[in-house]
């Protein structure tokens, strides 16, 4: 029987290759969605469970693999083997051992898991609350600052929170099932139509924490990203104050012309608070991000494009060293990308399988066939939304 001996080296080589591949893929430095690089009390609770469990699993995995290799080598069929090796079926010690030991290990994991689930569900009653809405294909965030039941701040793509304080996120969906996931701050939580799911997050340090929709929700699911921006308390208060401010009617001639185009083309989906001429937009808009303070965000189009060049240089976490609240004043506006978006959104972010049939499917932002001059004027207006 020569066949088994030829198979043995390929089995060992395969196992080695698999191990090396797993090690290589698991060691990416600074991966923004790395679940082991947490920075919050919730992610710490998760790591306190998953790191020991992962460690035990690795040890067991190595032992099992080593045992398999040892047994395959030691007991492989030899050319002159005719008889079966001694049979161990029914050996009481072995049977008890490999039944009880795994049961014991799993019992420990089960207890740890249940405790962790309850720990994660704990949220202080006075925690700050943010309503999160998943929508094809972006995330909306609403803040009821005066707690009167209506949102005072409506923003998109980026949820701003105070660092070092717990925040309860109320997760909802406006269409299909999405899943809210900021790996550095907590686990995943589905956004299910008709339901509200709660998740507590707390970022220990100021910073930008990347997230990604993790439930397949249509063509641009992978392009449905979000960020949590944790600011020092004073910066957070300043952000809250600015976000409650209405947009001003532009004085610059180009921006004023841009506002007129906005009124004609954009208000059926996008709202801008406080500009008298688009007040009626409150009646009809809401299908797309509220743009009142567009320029205070670091991204647009569902978090996939940077609004400022600094974020594309070097460390994506520190926005080129510019404080988040100072982006509109100090950042280098990524004008080309915003113009490309206005020129043909479905080309930048797929909305329908066949872009020419957009109206039939009606998802995301359509190509409005704006002229270059209209785009220039619109951008001049959007730039004033700080
Ligand atoms: Cu939303 Cu995937």
Structural contact between residues 202 and 41, judged by C-beta atoms closer than 8 angstroms? yes
Cα(197) to ligand 1 centroid in Å equals: 16
Q: Which atom of ligand 1 is nearest to the CA of 224?
A: 1
Determine if ligand 1 sits within 6 Å of the CB of residue 159.
no
* Paired tokens of 21: 């591949």
Cα(219) to ligand 1 centroid in Å equals: 9
Cα 299 off chain centre by: 13
Cα(176) to ligand 1 centroid in Å equals: 8
DSSP 31: -
| Nearest Cα residue to atom 1 of ligand 1 | 178
**Residue among 231, 242, 236, 227 at smallest CA distance from 385:** 242
Taking the C-alpha atoms of residue 201 and residue 159, their distance in angstroms, rounded to an integer, is 11
Location of structure tokens 């790395």: 34
Structural contact between residues 213 and 189, judged by C-beta atoms closer than 8 angstroms? no
The pLDDT value recorded for residue 1 is 44
Q: If you classify domain 253-382 with CATH, what class do you get?
A: mainly alpha
Determine if ligand 1 sits within 6 Å of the CB of residue 219.
no
Taking the C-alpha atoms of residue 320 and residue 151, their distance in angstroms, rounded to an integer, is 32
* Paired tokens of 204: 């220990």
pLDDT digits (tens, 9 = 90+) for 98-150: 899 999 999 999 999 999 999 888 888 889 999 999 999 999 999 999 999 88
Cα(201) to ligand 1 centroid in Å equals: 20
The beta strands (E) that lie in the chain are given as 128-135, 138-143, 153-156, 158-162, 167-173, 178-181, 188-191, 197-201, 207-212, 225-231, 299-300, 305-306
pLDDT tier at 171, thresholds 50, 70, 90 = very high
Determine if ligand 1 sits within 6 Å of the CB of residue 221.
yes
Taking the C-alpha atoms of residue 313 and residue 230, their distance in angstroms, rounded to an integer, is 21
State which CATH number among 1.10.10.10, 1.10.287.90, 3.20.20.70, 3.40.50.2000 fits the domain covering 2-21+32-121: 1.10.287.90
Query: When comparing pLDDT for 88 and 349, which is higher?
Result: 349
Per DSSP, the three-state class of 301 is: coil
Rounded mean pLDDT of 257-279?
A: 86
CATH domain 128-233 topology: Immunoglobulin-like (2.60.40)
Q: Which atom of ligand 1 is nearest to the CA of 215?
A: 2
The pLDDT value recorded for residue 16 is 75
pLDDT tier at 237, thresholds 50, 70, 90 = very high
> Who contacts 26 (Cβ-Cβ below 8 Å, separation ≥6)?
none
* Paired tokens of 275: 């500009």
The pLDDT value recorded for residue 215 is 96
Number of residues written out for the chain = 386
Structural contact between residues 288 and 135, judged by C-beta atoms closer than 8 angstroms? no
pLDDT digits (tens, 9 = 90+) for 287-333: 899 999 999 999 999 989 999 987 765 555 578 788 899 999 988 99
The pLDDT value recorded for residue 195 is 96
Query: When comparing pLDDT for 194 and 314, which is higher?
Result: 194
Structural contact between residues 381 and 258, judged by C-beta atoms closer than 8 angstroms? yes
Determine if ligand 1 sits within 6 Å of the CB of residue 331.
no
Cα(190) to ligand 1 centroid in Å equals: 10
Query: When comparing pLDDT for 41 and 144, which is higher?
Result: 144
Rounded mean pLDDT of 83-98?
A: 83
DSSP 133: E
Location of structure tokens 């359509």: 366
| Residue 27 reports pLDDT greater than 80 | no
Kind of pairing between the strands at 153-156 and 158-162: unpaired
Domain ranges in the chain are 2-21+32-121, 128-233, 253-382
DSSP 279: T
| Residue 220 reports pLDDT greater than 70 | yes
Q: Which atom of ligand 1 is nearest to the CA of 214?
A: 2
Determine if ligand 1 sits within 6 Å of the CB of residue 217.
yes
The pLDDT value recorded for residue 309 is 85
Tell me the percentage of the chain whose pLDDT exceeds 70. 89
Task: Say how many CA atoms lie within 13 Å of 42 toward its Cβ.
Answer: 26
Q: Is the peptide bond before 137 cis (omega within 30 degrees of 0)?
A: yes
- Which DSSP string do the residues of 172-220 spell out, in sequence order? EESSS-EEEE-TTT--EEEE-TT--EEEEE-BSSSEEEEEE--S--STT
Lowest mean pLDDT across 7-11, 119-123, 240-244: 7-11
Structural contact between residues 164 and 123, judged by C-beta atoms closer than 8 angstroms? no
Task: Say how many CA atoms lie within 13 Å of 341 toward its Cβ.
Answer: 20
pTM for this predicted structure: 0.84
Strand partners, 167: 128, 201
Handedness of CA 160, 162, 164, 165 (dihedral sign): negative
Query: When comparing pLDDT for 4 and 32, which is higher?
Result: 32
Taking the C-alpha atoms of residue 44 and residue 59, their distance in angstroms, rounded to an integer, is 22
Average pLDDT across the chain, whole number: 87
């Amino acid at each position: 029987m020569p066949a088994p001996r030829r198979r043995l080296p390929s089995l060992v080589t395969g196992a080695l290759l698999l191990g090396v591949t797993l090690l290589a893929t698991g060691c990416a430095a600074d991966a923004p969605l790395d679940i082991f690089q947490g920075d919050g009390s919730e992610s710490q609770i998760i790591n306190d469970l998953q790191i020991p469990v992962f460690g035990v699993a690795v040890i067991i995995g190595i032992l099992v693999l080593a045992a398999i290799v040892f047994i395959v080598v030691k007991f492989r069929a030899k050319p002159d083997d005719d008889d079966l090796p001694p049979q161990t079926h029914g050996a009481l010690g072995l049977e008890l051992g490999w039944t009880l030991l795994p049961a014991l290990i799993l019992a420990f994991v089960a207890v740890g898991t249940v405790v962790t689930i309850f720990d994660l569900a704990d949220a202080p009653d006075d925690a700050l609350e943010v309503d999160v809405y998943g929508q094809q294909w972006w995330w909306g965030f609403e803040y009821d600052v005066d707690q009167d039941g209506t949102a005072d701040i409506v923003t998109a793509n980026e949820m701003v929170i105070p660092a070092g304080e717990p925040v309860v996120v109320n997760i909802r969906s406006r269409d299909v099932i999405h899943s809210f996931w900021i790996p550095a701050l907590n686990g995943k939580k589905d956004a299910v139509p008709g339901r509200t799911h709660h998740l507590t997050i707390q970022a220990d340090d100021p910073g930008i924490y990347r997230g990604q929709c993790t439930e397949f929700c249509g063509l641009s699911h992978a392009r449905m990203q979000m960020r949590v921006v944790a600011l020092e308390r004073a910066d957070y208060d300043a952000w809250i104050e600015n976000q409650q401010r209405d947009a001003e009617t532009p004085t610059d001639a180009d921006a004023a012309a841009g506002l007129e185009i906005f009124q004609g083309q954009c208000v059926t989906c996008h709202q801008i608070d406080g500009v008298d001429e688009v007040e009626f937009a409150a009646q009809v808009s809401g299908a797309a991000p509220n743009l009142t303070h567009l320029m205070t965000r670091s991204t647009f189009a569902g978090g996939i494009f940077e609004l400022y060049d600094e974020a594309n240089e070097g460390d994506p976490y520190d926005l080129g060293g510019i404080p988040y609240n100072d982006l509109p004043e100090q950042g280098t506006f990524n004008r080309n990308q915003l113009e490309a978006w206005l020129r043909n959104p479905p080309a930048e972010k797929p909305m329908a399988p066949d872009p020419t049939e957009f109206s039939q499917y009606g998802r995301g932002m359509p190509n409005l066939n704006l002229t270059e001059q209209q785009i220039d004027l619109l951008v001049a207006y959007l730039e004033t939304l700080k």
